[in-house]
């Protein structure tokens, strides 16, 4: 139900804002602002996205929990989609998502409501005092090939080697 309301309310808010801003400053300045926010938003998304990817790489390299960098990357991706959508309301939400403080607050809000049962990354370190066990998925066996050699069912045409 909330998704239906969002699909109904957001276009209505955008239309109302276009009418208000267009009536206040005119058509061409309004369109100029929309194009300018799309260009500025694209540039900001690229720079913030590079920083988020670098942060994600460093968390993987250091074997840290990648949840926060992944969430920031997802929010930057959503911000990019919102900034490319023409409108003042979506631009405001998109620029807010590009602000690290807002993303951190949104992440903290979501972290309180989402519970992860278990998280593992990489292999657990082996205790050097315990003897290592052979892997359980290795099977040592002897085998004998019982398949028969294939014989051609027709004479050779000379074009192929049988």
Domain boundaries, the chain: 9-113
- pTM, full prediction: 0.65
- Please state which of the ranges 14-23, 84-93, 118-127 shows the lowest mean pLDDT: 118-127
Q: Please indicate whether residue 151 or residue 111 has the higher confidence score (pLDDT).
A: 111
Contact 55, 74 (CB under 8 A): no
90-140 per-position pLDDT tens digit: 999 999 999 999 999 999 998 898 877 766 666 555 555 555 555 567 777
- Please tell me the distance from the alpha carbon of residue 77 to that of residue 92, in angstroms, as a whole number: 15
Torsion on CA atoms 24, 27, 33, 39, rounded to nearest 10? 170
38-63 per-position pLDDT tens digit: 899 899 999 999 999 999 999 988 88
* Sign (positive or negative) of CA dihedral 105, 59, 116, 95: positive
- Please tell me the distance from the alpha carbon of residue 5 to that of residue 12, in angstroms, as a whole number: 11
- Please tell me the distance from the alpha carbon of residue 85 to that of residue 100, in angstroms, as a whole number: 21
- Please tell me the distance from the alpha carbon of residue 85 to that of residue 67, in angstroms, as a whole number: 27
């Amino acid at each position: 139900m909330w998704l239906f309301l969002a699909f109904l309310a957001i276009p209505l808010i955008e239309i109302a804002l276009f009418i208000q801003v267009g009536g206040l400053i005119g058509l061409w300045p309004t369109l100029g602002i929309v194009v300018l926010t799309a260009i500025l938003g694209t540039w900001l998304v690229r720079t913030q996205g590079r920083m988020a990817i670098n942060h994600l790489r460093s968390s993987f390299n250091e074997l840290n929990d990648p949840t926060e960098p992944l969430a920031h990357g997802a929010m930057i991706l959503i911000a990019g989609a919102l900034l490319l959508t023409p409108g003042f309301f979506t631009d405001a939400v998109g620029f807010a998502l590009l602000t690290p403080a807002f993303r951190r607050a949104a992440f903290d809000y979501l972290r309180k409501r989402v519970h992860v049962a278990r998280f593992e990354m990489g292999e657990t370190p082996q205790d050097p005092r315990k003897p290592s066990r052979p892997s359980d998925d290795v099977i040592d066996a002897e085998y004998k090939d019982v398949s028969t050699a294939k014989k051609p069912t027709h004479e050779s045409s000379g074009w192929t080697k049988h």
